[in-house]
Amino acid sequence: MQQIPVSLLTLVAGVLITLFSLWVGQHHSLLPIQASEQAPLVDGFFNVMLIIATALFVVVEGTILIFLVMFRRRKGDDTDGAPIEGNLPLEIFWTAIPTVIVLGLGIYSVDVYSRMGGLEPGGHSHTPVHVTHQMPGSAIAATLDDASEMTQQTATSTNDSNIGIGAGANEKGKSPDLVVDVTGMQFAWIFNYPDSGVTAGELHVPVGTDVQLNLASTDVIHSFWVPQFRLKQDAIPGIPTKLRFVATKVGTYPVVCTELCGGYHGSMRSQVVVHTPEEYESWLTENRIAQQQQGLQQAVAVKPAELSVSEYLAPYAQKMGIGDREK
Q: What is the mean pLDDT of each run of 10 residues along the chain (327 residues)?
A: 73 92 93 94 96 95 92 85 83 92 96 86 44 40 50 47 78 88 93 92 94 94 96 94 95 95 91 96 89 61 60 65 55
**Distance (Å, whole) CA 34 – CA 233:** 18
Give me the pLDDT at residue 205, please. 96
Give me the pLDDT at residue 301, please. 54
Give me the pLDDT at residue 291, please. 76
**Distance (Å, whole) CA 320 – CA 304:** 20
Identify the architecture of domain 142-304 in CATH. Answer: Sandwich (2.60)
Report in angstroms the alpha-carbon separations of 72 from 68, 77, 78, 172, 294: 6, 10, 12, 61, 80
Encode 275-289: b = buried (16+ Cβ within 10 Å), e = exposed: beeeebeebbeebee
Looking at residue 267, what DSSP letter applies?
G
Encode 113-148: b = buried (16+ Cβ within 10 Å), e = exposed: eebbbbebeeebbeeebebbeeeeebbbebbbebbb
Q: What is the pTM of this model?
A: 0.75
CA dihedral 71→74→78→81, nearest 10 degrees, is -10
Report in angstroms the alpha-carbon separations of 213 from 77, 144, 155, 295, 303: 71, 18, 11, 25, 25
Give me the pLDDT at residue 306, please. 60
- Give the Cβ contact number of residue 26 at 10 Å: 10
The backbone torsions φ and ψ at residue 63, rounded to the nearest 5 degrees and listed phi first, read -60, -40
Give me the pLDDT at residue 307, please. 64
**Distance (Å, whole) CA 48 – CA 233:** 24
